[in-house]
A and B are shown apart, each in its own frame.
Chain A
C-alpha cells in the first residue's frame, strides 16, 4: 500500500523539480527535493490550497422567478453571480457557476455541478421584493454523519452544521455592511443534495436607514454593497477553513 501511494508523489515531485530547475526557482527546487525524501504521512496532508466557491444563480430559462421592478429574478441573480464571481476571483478564490446564461438548470443538475466542484462553499442566490435586507437559509435537514454513500436527496444532512457556520459568517458580513439579515431553515431540493457547506441567500430591498443608496434592488450601489459583503464573508470563511476548523 505504502509503495503504491508513493509512486505518484515521487512522480509529481520530480516533475515540479524539473519545472523549477528550468524556471530557476531555487527555494522551490529545494522544497521539491525535500518532498522526495519526505515520509508518506505528508501525502495525506490537504491537497493544494485551492479554495473553490460554487455560485448558483437561481432560476433561469423557462423559470423566471419573481418579478423585481419589472425585471425578472433570473436576470437579477445571474447579474449578482457575475459581479460576485469577479470579486472572488480578484481575491484568489476559484469560482464554479451553475449557469452562465439564461438557461434552464434543474435542481439536480445544480447539485451535481456543486458536488463535482468539491467546493468549500456553495451559495444559491435569490432575490425578492418581499421583506427587507437579506434572508439567509440553511437546509432544514437534520444533521447526519458523513458516510461513503449518502442518499442523493438528503446528502446535505452531513454538511448542515458547517452550512450553519457559513451562514453565521455571511450574517456577520452582511450585518457589518449595514444590512438587516434574517436567518432560517428551508427545504430546497438544490441545496438538500449539495455535499458542501451550502447557504441560500435571498436579497430583498434595503431599508432607507441602511445608509448609502436608495436600497432599491435595482440600485447599483446597493447591488455592489451586497456583492462586496458576500465576497468579504467568503474571504473570512476561507481564513476560518484554513485555520483548521473542521466539522
Chain B
C-alpha cells in the first residue's frame, strides 16, 4: 500500500510538470510568431554594407531651364548597372522631395533597371541625334580611356511616366538630367536610350521623344536663365 503523502506528492508533481509543459509550449509558440513577424518587416534588400561614395548628380531646375552638378555621398553597389540605378534613384528622389526645383513624383522606384552595353558600330552610325549642336565635350574627347563607349538603356517604370508632368521644358529637363548624370558618373556612357516597362514608347509625357538615341555630348546644361 502506497502511503497517502506519497500519492499527494505524486499528483502535485504531475500537475506541476503538465503546467510547466503548457507554459513552455505557449512561450515557444509566441517566440516563433514574433520571429516570423520580424522577418516580414526586415528589408528585402541586403543591408547597405557598401561604403558611401561620392556621386555627381546633374540636377534640373525648372526656374531657369538649367541642369547643374551637385555632389552627394551615398552607398553605391559595386555592380555598374546596380550602381547606375542607385545614382539615378537618388536623382529622382531629389525631384520628388518637397521644394524640388523640378517636381516629378515617384522617386527612386521610377528607374526599374539600367543596362550598360557596348556601343556597336551599327548603333553609332544610326544614331538619331547625329548632327546636333554639340555644346559640350565631343564624343572623341569623352574621357573613356579604359574600355569602349557604352550605351545605357534606362528602363523607366510605367507609373513614373504616367505621372510625369507634361511640357517641353519639364520633359526635356528630365531626359537631359538623366543623360548628364549617367555621363558624369560613367564617362564611358556616350549614348542613352529609354524604355518604359521594357517597351519602346513615343514620348515621355507628350513632348520629349523617347524613340531616339540621346548623345551625352549634347546633354550639357543649356543656355540658362534670362529674366
Contact = CB atoms under 8 A, between A and B. Distances in A.
Interface of A: 59, 63, 65-67, 73, 126, 128-132, 135, 137, 140-143, 154, 157, 160, 171, 175, 180-189, 200, 202, 204
Max chain A Cβ within 10 angstroms of own Cβ: one of B63, B167, B170, B206: B167
Contacts of A181: 226-227
A131 B223 CA distance: 16
B133 A126 contact: no
Contact of B169 (A130, A171, A175): A130
The dominant DSSP class at the A interface is: mixed
A184 B227 contact: no
The dominant DSSP class at the B interface is: loop
B34 interface: no
Nearest to B227: A180
Given A142-B133, A187-B129, A175 B226 contact: yes
Contact of A182 (B133, B134, B225): B225
B74 interface: no
A55 B151 CA distance: 38
A142 B131 CA distance: 6
26 contacts: A59-B206, A63-B206, A65-B206, A66-B166, A66-B206, A67-B166, A128-B165, A128-B167, A128-B169, A130-B165, A130-B169, A131-B169, A132-B63, A135-B169, A142-B131, A142-B133, A142-B134, A143-B133, A182-B64, A183-B222, A183-B224, A184-B65, A186-B168, A186-B172, A187-B129, A202-B168
B62 interface: yes
A184 B226 CA distance: 10
Contacts of B212: 187
Contacts of A66: 165-167, 205-206
A183 B212 CA distance: 23
A183 B168 contact: no
Contacts of B62: 130-132
Interface residues of B, number: 30
A186 B129 CA distance: 11
A175 B227 CA distance: 6
Contact of B222 (A131, A185, A204): A185
Contacts of A132: 62-63
Interface in B102-136: 103, 129, 131-135
Contacts of B224: 182-183
B209 A187 contact: yes
Contacts of A154: 131
B218 interface: yes
A182 to B, nearest CB: 4
B173 to A, nearest CB: 9
B170 A128 contact: yes
A126 B227 contact: no
Contacts of A160: 133
A140 B165 CA distance: 22
Contacts of A131: 62-63, 65, 167, 169-170
B131 A126 contact: no
A137 B223 CA distance: 10
Interface string B143-165: 00000000000000000000001
A204 B167 contact: yes
Contacts of A126: 167-168, 207
Contacts of A59: 206
B5 to A, nearest CB: 91
Max chain A Cβ within 10 angstroms of own Cβ: one of B62, B166, B224: B166
What 8 A-B pairs have minimum CB-CB distances, sorted nearest first?
Answer: A128-B167, A66-B166, A182-B65, A130-B170, A131-B62, A135-B169, A142-B133, A184-B222
A193 B118 CA distance: 32
Contacts of A63: 206
A129 B103 CA distance: 11
A175 B63 CA distance: 15
